[in-house]
Structures are given as C-alpha cells and as structure tokens.
Amino acid sequence: MKKIRIFKFFLVVLLFFSGPLKASFQKITIQVSKDSPRLFEDMSEPTSPMARQFFILKKFQVQKNYSACLKKARALQKRFPSFKSWLLIRELECGKDLVERDLKKGLLLKSPLQRGYRQLFNMKVQSSAWNLLRKTYVAALLKYLQYQVNYFRLKAWESVEKLEEMKKWLTKSQAFQFYRLSGDLAFVQQNLDLAANLYKKSLTFKKDLKVQSRLISLRKTLGLLEKSYEGADYFSPLQNVDLEATEEERLYVKRIRDYLKRGKILPAVETGIRLINDYPGGVRAQWAADRVITAYLRVLRHRDRRFVLLKEKILKAIIKAPPDRLLKWAEVLKDQEKYREALYLSEKSVEKFKKAKTKKLTKATWLAAWNALLDGKYDKAQKYFGSLIKEHAGSPEAREAFFRQGLLKYRLGKYGEAVAFLEKYLSLPRNDKYELSVLYWLWRAKQQLKAAEASTIAQKLSKKYPLTYYGLRARAELAGGKLSLPEGGQPVKSITVWLTEERRQEWQRYLTFVNAGWFREAQLELQAFYQPRSPEEKLVFADLYARCLNYHEAITLANEAWDQRPHLITVFWIKRLFPKLYWDKVKTYGTRYALDPLLILGLIRQESSFRAKGQSGAGALGLMQLMPLTAREVARNLRKKITLPEDLFQPSTNILFGTLYLSRMYRAFNGNVPLALAAYNVGIGNIRKWQSSREAELFFQTNDSSPQNEIWIEELPWTETQFYVKAVLRNFLIYRLLEEWPEEVPASNPIWALQKYVKTADK
C-alpha cells in the first residue's frame, strides 16, 4: 500500500508540472532543403530583409571595403540586438583588417574593443559566439597594441595589462607577438631590464633571430652577458653544461664531437655505442644515440662503392647496443625508407629480447615482420607474422598478423591458406579495424579457388560497405561489370524536435546566417543548437551542416547514420554529400592539365572536405592541402609570386597549384592513378624510395586494376595513405556515377581510367 501511495504522489506531481513544462517548449519541424548548397560568391541577394542586410555586410568584407563594413556592422547592432555578439565580431574583424592595411587608422579599433571587452565578460561562456568573439577580440587587441607602440604609447600599457589578463587565450604565435611588442614598448621607453625580460619570454614561444640579436645586445649593455657568449643559441638546451655527468661521460662526449668534426664516422659511432652501454640511463646516452643514428643515415645516403665497407663496419658496431636502442633505431630507419637496414636491426633486437624475455619482444617482432614485408623479403615476413600469431596471441599485433599473413599468402598465390587466415581474422573479437579489407581479399581468394560462396561474400561486402572502393567494385562485378549506386532506400525528408525559447532563437539565427551566406556563424549556432541522436536526425543535420558548407561534419554524421541503418542510403543523400563546389575552376584547370575534373573533385573532398581555409597539423593548406614547400616549387615553375599562407587560402590559386602538382604525379607514374594519389599524399620521394625496395614487382609499370595489381595499396608503410588512396578512388567513382546518373557506368580495366581531356602546355 505504501508503494502505491508513493506512485500516486509522483503521478500527481508529474501531471501538475507537465502543463507548464510543455508550454516552455516549442515544436519545430526541420525540413531537408531541396536546393543544393552554394558558395557565397554564387549566391544572389536574399529576399528576407534581415538576411539581406547581413548579406550586404559580408559582401563589404569580401570586397575588402572595410570602412563600409565597420559602419554597417555598428549600425546593425542597434537594429538587431539578438545578433549583437556576431555583429561585433564582424566589426572587430573589419577594423583589424583596415588597420592591417593602414596602421595609422588604429584608433578606429578603440570603440569596438571597449564594447567587445564588456560583451566578453557579460555573455555566457557556453554561448555559441563566445569562443569566436574571444579569438577575434584578442587578434584585434594585438593589432591595436601594435598601433599604440608606434603612434600612441601613452595608453599602450593599458592594452598590455588586458592582454596579460587574457594570456591563457593566446596562441603561441600571439604570445610571441604580445611579448615582443611589449618588449619594443619597454625598449622605446628605455626600461631596458623589462625589455630584456620580455624579449626573453617571447623567445620561449617562437625562435626569431632579430629578437635574439636584440636580446643579446641588451644583455651586453646591461652587463649580463659575457662577450664569449655573443653567439649563444638561447633555444638549445644543450648549450648548458651537464654538471651532473661524470668525467668519463664528458670525455666520451668530447671524443664523439671531435671525431664527427674531423669526419671520423666509425670511431664516433663506436665511442657512442660504448657510452650507451656504460651509461644507458643518462642524458648523454640519448645524446649519443641521436648522433649514432644520424651519422649512420648520413653514410647510407652515399651510393659510392667506397662506402660499402664503412656501412658494414658501422652496422657491426651498432648491433652491440642494447635491444631497446636497436628497436628505436630500426623505427627511425623504417621511417627513412631504409628497410633492409631496419630489418637487420629489428631482427637483432628480436634475438636480444628473446633472451631477456621482455614484453617488448612483441613490438620488435611486429617491426621485423613489417620491415621484411616492405623490403620484399616475403619468407621472413611470413616467419615473423607467424611468430606473432603463435607466440603473442591476444595482442593487437597478433590480431592484425592474421590479416597480413592472409594478404601475403594471396600475393604468393596460396589462396587456400589465404582464406584460412582471413576467415580466422573475421572470427576474432574486435575485428572492425580491417573487416572491410579482409572481406574484400577473402572474396578475391575465394574467386581464385572458384568457390561457390565467393558471390555471397561479395553481396555481404556491397551491402555492408556500399559506398567504399571495395564495395563499389563488388557491386560492379555482381552486376556483370556495371558500376552503379545503391538504389531505393528510405527517404528522410524532415524531423520534429522540441526546443526551449533559447534554442529556438539559435535556430532562427542559423536560418538567417545560412540565407545571408554567414556560413561560419551558422555552423557555430548549429553546434550549440541540438545534438542529433537517431539515424534520421543525423541525416537531417548532415543536410543542415552541408547547407553551411561544413562538409566534414556533414559526412561524419551521414556515415554514422548509414552505419546504423544502411537502408537510409539514397541517391539524393549521395548527391548532397558529394557536392560539385568550385566546379568551374576544377573543370578549367583539370582540362588545362589533362586530368579528369572528377578526380580532382574527389581529391578535394578527401583532403579538405571543401574547406578553403583548411589547415592540417602538418601545415598543409587550403582545398587541396598543399604543403608550403610544394606550393613554392609550383609557384617557381609557374613564375608566380605567392604569399603564404594567404594565397593558398584562395580557391583559384590552390586548385591551380594542386591540379598542376597532381598532373605531374600522374605523368611521373605513367598514368597509374593509385600511385599518383599515394605520391600526392605522402610525397613522390617517399614513394620512389618504397618502390626501389620492390623493383622486381611489375605492377608498378602496368595500368591494371586487377586485384593482384592493387594489393600493394594494403602494404604501404603509411596507414593513412592506404586509406587515402582507396577513399579518393571511391570519391572519383561516385562522382563519375553521379555524372552519368541514372545510367550505369561500364567497369573498365583499369576501373580508375581517366576521361580524355584536351592537353595544353603548362603555363
């Protein structure tokens, strides 16, 4: 009875509050857009009065009419107070760009900075605009400080104090700029002690020879620097003498330096090995290890016969080191594509670890197996992969070894054994990582054995992984050599969500921003607005992200939805997530350099997801993710002057440079598209070095997409590149299918053959 009374009480409470609770939420239906997303430059002026004003404001900024942008942004803040933070960001950006162009106009930043400071500390930290306002405010304040240091020093320390208050928000580059400008201010005001300290602090964030030179000069003036240290490098931790080292360690170091200075490589290596063995845990041992492998790599670069004996002697000296060092050096040699030497050292480390019976034996065996594979020593590769399976069961390395062993057996024509290893991999728990590849090569092995179940595996492959390179190939062969897209599927046209008033306003701002071409702001509002959970919600939100040109998020959400419910794949959604942005530029440059524009489009989708200002952790820039060094080389060939990174953020320049570079990779590998893509991703030098260790394999000279001639993609030493090549090929095939839709496309050999385009000179 007591339980019933408690239940009734909670039921009454729920009914009492459900009315007001429901009243605080509003039902919103979100429709999938029928129109394809467009770039800002392709948009016409919106019909909505509010969106039109925002569109005009952005147009001023895009056209670099910063004065008009400043005035417009300030005026709109009064008209649309719910957009105040976003408009203030735009005002600060235009003001900063105006001052960048003419530093004397720095005073124009004073008012928006004052309002920005108040807004930052009045708004919610979790709000969608806060992070962007913070970043924009800091960048504008740094520019204002630069103006003050040059023209208005009286109030400059106020800006310094504000930046000091916000120093946790500064990037490394901004922190360097802040302390350098503060040092300049102190120097001009003849506060030399403070200037020296500020310059020194700036150098902890970025190496700069001008600041270093000024710091040395200041310290000399202040009597803090002996003349003998004028050339000191403040960035090198090795500049300081290690007082904790023993006399014998210091003697070893002195000898190594002396030998290297005189070009005596072998004695330097031998002395380094003795130091490592005698003092394995010391800082100097690591220093010696670095010198040993650097010296060995320098000798390996020489192909002259005179160095053969020296290489052998160095290798004999090196293998006397502890197994941990041998393992690390083997990894370095592998990264440098010195597979033969890497294999030798990893084998020696395996021998030594076996005697010690340590856990590192697994890693050493794995490295030996991979180096043997990369060096084309398939017998040894089978031996070490087999050792992993038998002696290291349960480890991630042993799990992958089943896949690698299956591939090796396929390569060697032992299809029955390949099937056994690949089926064993599929029976293991946590096999998701390579399931797609294992299914594909299991299907191919069964085909070779003319097994009846081969078509069943192909059907599973095409059904579970329909939008992959391997899935498309399976579908084509099942259809008698015709490439096609998945048909049918359940259409998703809308979803219904319940929103609070705050979330409803975010939704309205998103719609305004999308219609006005404010895509960055629309993305941020969308991120804060609602987190989709069901597959249908994820698909609709994929459309919302696509509409504001965040294809990276759109693709991620769609893939999650399709993984959960493959029947949601339709041609409509494939078209939405494989857009033809920048098509005119892609087609122009593709035709000029005799490349299929659809291949270029597929590469852009994979490289940057169409983010014109995308920047990778490695420093690759723009739509086609060009490295600065590559861009400079292409610019020299085209006799163009470029400013980095700005010019590579311009779609026209980036597509021109990227297409020319890709066309050179294509010609360098005699029209072999997968090899050209691998070279584009990891560098032509790396691919050439990798090829040189497998010269006997003829598939490099053939343009053939039969399985035997594409197994090398799975054997590339760069996991990212393995995935990349297949992903771009998949994109290319899908773009081709969309271009011909609803017609099917014959699966020619090679399946990635390019369409013919007029070839013109590289101008």
> What's the Cα-to-Cα distance from 64 to each of 77, 133, 403, 513, 602, rounded to whole Å?
20, 21, 56, 20, 32
Q: How far is CA 434 from CA 32, 411, 463, in A?
A: 34, 18, 17
What are residue 633's phi and psi, to 5 degrees?
A: -65, -45
Question: What are the residues facing 27 on neighbouring strands?
Answer: 498
- Phi (first) and psi of residue 28, to 5 degrees: -125, 130
Pair of tokens at residue 333: 């040699």
Neighbouring C-alpha atoms within 13 Å toward the C-beta of 528: 22
Nearest partner of 206 among 232, 170, 238, 241, judged by Cα: 170
Residues 6+ apart with CB under 8 A from 521: 86, 129, 132, 509, 513
Which residues, listed in sequence order, are joined to residue 499 by a DSSP beta bridge?
26
Angle between helices 84-101 and 49-62 (to 10 degrees): 20
Residue 392's contacts (CB-CB under 8 Å, 6 or more residues apart) are: 361, 362, 365, 398
| Contacts for 57-60: CB closer than 8 Å, 24+ residues apart | 57/87, 57/90, 58/90, 58/516, 58/517, 58/518, 60/94
Task: Give the CA distances from residue 530 to residues 126, 385, 427, 522, 716, in Å, rounded to whole numbers and listed in that order.
Answer: 14, 47, 39, 13, 41
* Contact (CB, 8 A) for 259 and 268: yes
Could you give the C-alpha distances from 421 to 405, 415, 442, 540, in angstroms and in order? Answer: 7, 10, 9, 41
Establish whether 743 is a catalytic residue: no
C-alpha closest to that of 372 among 340, 412, 405: 340
Q: Pick the catalytic residue from 91, 93, 607, 714.
A: 607
Q: What is the 3-state secondary structure (H, E, C) of 35-81?
A: CCCCCHHHCCCCCCHHHHHHHHHHHHHHCCCHHHHHHHHHHHHHHCH
Supply the residues annotated as catalytic.
Answer: 607
